[in-house]
């Protein structure tokens, strides 16, 4: 057993909650193990106004934690899986995925009970392209505006009256003890979640067998299988953060059901499809669904976005 297991984490309240949760579970699983947090501010936390894709995109929140792993300043990094890019740096892997919290998006509003109650022209805050296109498809009369920052920052702006409603992840609100702010969870049919939403992952060095032996007990097989399908889908689509992409898998016994969405950043078209098959073939199902979406028009969307070099957005409003 190492003298102390060091966890690299961002400093946002949600990131700290997740790291403390992993620390507590590791201490419970291995009595006598010392666990400590190594906190760091990532580039994604520092730069709150620039279009994130231009300065490094989706990986901004994880890169500095990964550098700490590679430099030996930390043994594991704890991530919200929806912020983790498909490609990991050489020498690192993600062997552990914890059991998923509520994966749905949440409708949050001080005044309105749900999406249907919003009057025409109501202002809804979200910086996630994925949330924006699904919102626009359902309610083209709403005004969707950018809302970034930590969960607390976003709620404060909502409460200050900058918006009539906001869409946030149920998981983040629940973990921070803010479940009371969820007016209504959006069904996955109303708002298909981001790939990995609600799941926490543990990244570590491939050559560190001692650490792997300690953290493996936290892996949740069914969530891991669902994430394998979602991330395989994402790897084939390779959309980065300038294209609205959603993906969500559930297990029904030994059968995996994966839904996916690819939208044009301008709002149209929005392509959706789903696939069902043996859980043992999770990754192949993810790749197959991605190929079907590409053939159905996603390829044209991805190519158009890359050609245009549109200013980017964080994967989901970012900054957790
Ligand atoms: N974009 C940042 C982020 N990363 C993970 C979560 C929520 C928790 C999760 O999905 O595990 C959030 C906040 C949000 O989207 O409202």
Ligand 1 center to residue 192 CA distance, Å? Answer: 14
Q: Is the pLDDT of residue 19 over 50?
A: yes
How far apart, in Å, are the Cα atoms of 226 and each of 1, 57, 183, 220? Answer: 31, 24, 27, 10
Residue 178 beta carbon below 6 angstroms from any ligand 1 atom: no
Quote the pLDDT of residue 72: 97
Write the CATH number for 138: 3.40.190.10
Distance from residue 169's CA to the centre of ligand 1 (Å): 6
Asked whether 83 lines ligand 1 (CB < 6 A), one says yes
pLDDT 10s digits, 247-259:
999 999 999 999 9
ipTM score here? 0.93
Please tell me the residue having the least CA distance from ligand 1 atom 14: 169
Separation of alpha carbons 61 and 227, rounded Å = 19
Report pLDDT digits (tens) over 182-240. 999 999 999 999 999 999 999 999 999 999 999 999 999 999 999 999 999 999 998 66
Whether residue 234 lies inside any domain: the answer is no
Max CA pair span of the chain? 60
| Closest-lying ligand 1 atom to the alpha carbon of residue 83 | 4
Q: Is 172 in the pocket of ligand 1 (CB under 6 A)?
A: yes
Task: Dump pLDDT digits (tens) for 109-136.
Answer: 999 999 999 999 999 999 899 999 999 9
Return all residues near 129 (Cβ < 8 A) that are at least 6 apart.
241, 242, 243, 244, 263, 265, 313
Atom of ligand 1 nearest to the CA of 314: 1
User: Could you give the strand order of the β-sheet that contains 4-10, starting from the edge strand earlier in sequence?
Assistant: 34-40, 4-10, 76-80, 200-205, 92-97
Q: Domain for residue 65, yes or no?
A: no
Mean pLDDT on 291-305: 94
The answer to whether position 181 is within a domain reads yes
Centre of ligand 1 from the C-alpha of residue 272, in Å: 22
5-12 mean pLDDT: 96
Between the CA of 32 and the centroid of ligand 1 the distance, in Å, is: 32
Could you tell me if the CB of 169 is within 6 A of ligand 1? Answer: yes
Binding site membership of 97 for ligand 1 (Cβ less than 6 Å): no
Q: What per-residue confidence (pLDDT) applies to 316?
A: 66
Nearest CA to ligand 1 atom 11: 198
Closest CA to 201 of 18, 47, 27: 18
Residue 183: is the preceding peptide bond cis (ω within 30°)?
no
In a domain, 82, yes or no: no
Would you please indicate which residues are annotated as catalytic (active-site) residues?
83
Flag whether 179 is in a domain. Answer: yes
Domain count of the fold of the chain: 1
- How far does residue 70's CA lie from ligand 1's centre (Å)? 25
Residue 318 has pLDDT above 50, yes or no: no
Q: What is the DSSP letter of 309?
A: T
The string of pLDDT tens digits covering residues 23-73 is: 999 999 999 999 999 999 877 776 665 555 445 566 778 999 999 999 999
The verdict on residue 296 lying in a domain is no
Residue 233 lies in a domain: no
Report the share of the chain in percent with pLDDT over 70: 91
Domain encompassing residue 175:
105-185
Q: Is residue 180 part of a domain?
A: yes
Minimum-distance ligand 1 atom for the alpha carbon of 316: 1
CA–CA gap between residue 285 and residue 263 (Å, rounded): 20
The answer, yes or no, to whether any atom of ligand 1 lies below 6 A from the CB of 263, is: no
């Amino acid at each position: 057993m190492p003298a102390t297991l060091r966890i690299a984490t961002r400093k946002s309240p949600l990131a700290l909650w997740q790291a403390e949760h992993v620390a507590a579970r590791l201490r419970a699983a291995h009595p006598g193990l010392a666990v400590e947090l190594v906190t760091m501010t990532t580039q994604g936390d520092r730069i709150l106004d620039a279009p994130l894709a231009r300065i490094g995109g989706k990986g901004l929140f994880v890169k500095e934690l990964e550098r700490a792993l590679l430099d030996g300043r930390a043994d594991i990094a704890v991530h919200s899986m929806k912020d983790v890019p498909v490609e990991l740096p050489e020498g690192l892997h993600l062997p552990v995925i914890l059991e998923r919290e509520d994966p749905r998006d949440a409708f949050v509003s001080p005044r309105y009970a749900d999406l249907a109650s919003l009057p025409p022209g109501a202002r809804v805050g979200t910086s996630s392209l994925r949330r924006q296109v699904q919102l626009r498809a359902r309610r083209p009369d709403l005004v969707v505006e950018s809302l970034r920052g930590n969960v607390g920052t976003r709620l404060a702006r909502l409460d200050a009256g900058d918006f009539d409603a906001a869409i946030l992840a149920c998981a983040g609100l629940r973990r921070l003890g803010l479940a009371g702010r969820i007016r209504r969870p959006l069904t996955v049919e109303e708002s298909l979640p981001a790939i990995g939403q609600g799941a926490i992952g543990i990244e570590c060095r491939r050559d560190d067998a001692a650490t792997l032996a300690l953290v493996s007990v936290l892996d949740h097989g069914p969530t891991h299988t669902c994430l394998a399908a979602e991330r395989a889908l994402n790897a084939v689509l390779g959309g980065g953060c300038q294209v609205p992409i959603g993906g969500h898998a559930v297990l029904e016994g030994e059968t995996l059901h994966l839904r996916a969405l690819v939208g044009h950043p301008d709002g149209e078209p929005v392509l959706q499809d789903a696939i069902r098959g043996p859980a043992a073939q999770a990754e192949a199902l993810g790749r197959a669904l991605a190929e079907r979406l590409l053939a159905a028009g996603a390829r044209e969307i991805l190519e158009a976005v890359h050609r245009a070099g549109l200013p980017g957005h964080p994967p989901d409003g970012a900054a957790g």
